[in-house]
Amino acid sequence: MNRVAVVTGGTRGIGRAVCEQLKTDGFNVVANYAGNDKAAQECAEEAGISCYKFDVGDHEAVMTGCQQIHDEIGPIEVVVNNAGITRDGTLTKMSYEDWHEVMRINLGGCFNMAKACFPGMREREWGRIVNIGSINGQAGQYGQVNYAAAKSGIHGFTKALAQEGARSNVTVNAIAPGYIDTDMVAAVPQGVLDKIVAKIPVGRLGQADEIARGVSFLCSEDAGFVTGSTISINGGQHMY
């Protein structure tokens, strides 16, 4: 039986690309999503991927959803924490709700999914967790104190959890994408986007497939000695 991989926010953008790549790699892939039923239906019909609807920021919903996946499909051995939202604005204009929702979903979702799946991975002595961070969690970004804080938190979460899983052959890594050609980036005003691209040494936006190939490696047997790492895939925009 193929290993079960769950990708949160898996029906669109980077998540959809990751789902398709992992399916090609031989995983039994499940896409989680929160609200877009149309995108989920398209993902299921076009890519043949099972879709489960629950809010990753809701602890009980995650515990219930992951148990359902376990019962209906099999033990979850790979988790890709990709789900995320933005609620941009300068601190003076940002509401507490804008702050809380981004932290609840982007960072809290990583905790909730790990809480549901990590113990089983350790018991079976094999697992892969890949957390999708961001260049803006590494370098910061004007108008994104919530998003940058959550993504930076993901990078720290990754390093800490990696130490808990290492002896059980459970690796925990992160990927920090730069600006990728997705719906989220498409919402950026063209003038702003042009200035962003001008600062990317390779001179273009990244593609979702390029992130998916990075996830593919980290989920493979070949990456068994890689844990606690953050791989930057950003066209050279931020190097450190």
pLDDT, tens digit (0-9, with 9 covering 90-100), for 180-218: 998 777 778 888 889 989 999 999 999 999 999 999 999
Pick the CATH number of 4-231 from 3.40.50.2020, 1.20.120.450, 3.40.50.720, 3.30.70.270: 3.40.50.720
Which uninterrupted H or E stretch holds 8?
A: none
CB-based contacts of 90, cutoff 8 Å, min separation 6: 142, 143
Q: What is the pLDDT of residue 159?
A: 98
Q: Which has the closest alpha carbon to 29: 13, 14, 8, 12?
A: 8
Work out the average pLDDT over 9-31: 97
Work out the average pLDDT over 45-64: 97
Rounded to an integer, what distance in angstroms lies between the CA atom of residue 135 and that of residue 238?
7
pLDDT, tens digit (0-9, with 9 covering 90-100), for 101-130: 999 999 999 999 999 999 999 999 999 999
Grade residue 99 by pLDDT with cuts at 50, 70 and 90: very high
Point out the least confidently predicted range of 74-88, 124-138, 189-203.
189-203
pLDDT for 59 beyond 90: yes
Using alpha carbons, list the distances in angstroms from residue 225 to 66, 161, 231.
27, 15, 14
pLDDT for 1 beyond 70: no
Grade residue 240 by pLDDT with cuts at 50, 70 and 90: confident
Work out the average pLDDT over 10-33: 97
Q: Is 230 exposed, middle or buried (CB count within 10 Å of its CB: 0-12, 13-18, 19+)?
A: middle
Centre a 10 Å sphere on the Cβ of residue 145 and count the other Cβ atoms it contains. Answer: 18
Q: What is the pLDDT of residue 189?
A: 86
Could you tell me the two tokens for 72? 């209906």
pTM score, whole prediction: 0.95
Candidate list 142, 147, 179, 240, residue with the active-site label: 147
- DSSP 3-state assignment of 190? helix
Rounded to an integer, what distance in angstroms lies between the CA atom of residue 189 and that of residue 202?
21
pLDDT for 39 beyond 80: yes
Look up 52 and say whether it is catalytic. no
Work out the average pLDDT over 24-47: 95
Work out the average pLDDT over 157-182: 97
